[in-house]
Amino acid sequence: MPPTQNPNTTKIQLRRPAKPARATTITTTKPAMLFLYAAVLLLLQCVPYISCDYENTWNFYYEQPCCSNEVTNYAKHKRDHVREFNCGKLYYRTFHMNEAKDTLYVGAMDRVFRLNLKNISSSQCDRDVINLEPTRDDVVSCVSKGKSQIFDCKNHIRVIQSMENGDRLYVCGTNAHNPKDYVIYSNLTHLPRSEYVIGVGQGIAKCPYDPLDNSTAIYVEEGNPGDLPGLYSGTNAEFTKADTVIFRTDLYNTTAKRLEYKFKRTLKYDSKWLDKPNFVGSFDIGEYVYFFFRETAVEYINCGKAVYSRIARVC
C-alpha cells in the first residue's frame, strides 16, 4: 500500500497563481507577416526531404548544405560527427549525467547502461550494463492484472540519481507494476550485503507503476532535517493511478541504521492539491525543491477544461 500520513504534518506547499495566464495573443505587424510567409515558403522547399525515410532524412540533414541544390556558404554537417549507442529496442527513457566521471547513465527496460561521454559508441552492451529484471512472481502478478508481459511486466528504470559524490547510484524501476528501488555502485555492480542501505527495496511513491507515466525525482543530500539524505519524487503512488503524490522519503541515520524523520507527502485523493498532474522535472535550489508539472486547472473548470503549468515548492 502507498504511504499515508497525517495531513496536519505535511510541509509541502503548492503555490498556484491567483489567475493563471492563458495563451498570449500576439498581434503581428505587416513586416512580421511578410517574414512569416517567407519562412513558410522556405519550409515548403524542404517537403521532399521530410517525406523520405528516416535514414535518408538523417543523411540529408547531416550531409547536405541546405534543402535545395543551390550553392551556399554554409558548412556541411558531417555524419561522422554523430555518435550512436543501441542495444536493441529497450525503451531508453531515463538519463543521468555525471560530468566529473565523463559518464552518462541510461535507464532502459530491465537495464542500466553506463556510456562514455567522450564517445558513447565505445560503450559495449554486454560490458557497460547492469541487469535489474523483475522476479518471476512479480511478472506473474503483473500479467494476472491484465498487463502486457512483453512491455508492462518488465522493469523500466525511471529514476537514476548520484549518491555520495557519485560513488553510488540510486535507481528505481517499475518492476512489473510493483515499483522497486536499489542502490548500486557507480561502476554498475551490486553492493555486498554488509553495505545494505536502510530504507531501500520498496519503490512505491518513488517511481511510477506504469512505464508510460510522466514522473520526476531528485536525490537531495544536504539541507534536509538533520542534514540527512533523501529522495524527493513526483509520481503515481497506486496501481490505479488514483493517488498522485509529491513525496519525500523517510530520512535515516545511515551510520546508526535508525529512522530519524518520517516521510512527507501531499494530501491523498485531494484534487485541490494535485489533479492528475504530468510531472516535467524537479530541481534542488537553495533551501527548496521545486517541482514543475502541468495539470487541469480546477479553479477554472466552469470555463471548460484547460491545462496550466504549475510550480510546487517543497519546504
For the chain (315 residues), the mean pLDDT of every run of 10, in chain order, is 46 44 36 39 38 35 44 55 87 95 96 94 94 98 97 98 95 98 97 93 97 97 95 97 96 93 94 91 96 89 84 92
Q: What pLDDT score was predicted for residue 80?
A: 63
CATH homologous superfamily of domain 7-15+87-289?
A: YVTN repeat-like/Quinoprotein amine dehydrogenase (2.130.10.10)
Helix (H, G, I), strand (E, B) or coil at 265: strand
Those residues whose C-beta lies under 8 Å from the C-beta of residue 115, and which sit 6 or more positions away, are 85, 103, 104, 105, 106, 123, 128
Mean pLDDT, the chain, integer: 81
pTM: predicted TM-score of the whole model, two decimal places:
0.74
- What is the grid cell recorded at 212? 508510460
CA angle (103 as vertex; 97, 105 as ends), nearest 5: 60
- What is the grid cell recorded at 160? 537514476
Q: What pLDDT score was predicted for residue 78?
A: 57
Specify the domain boundaries for CATH 2.130.10.10 within the chain. Answer: 7-15+87-289
Q: What pLDDT score was predicted for residue 130?
A: 98
Q: How far apart are CA 173 and CA 17, in angstroms?
A: 34
Of 305, 312, 281, 307, residue with least CA distance to 294: 307
**Contact criterion met (CB below 8 Å) for 140 and 155:** no
Of 192, 189, 152, residue with least CA distance to 174: 152
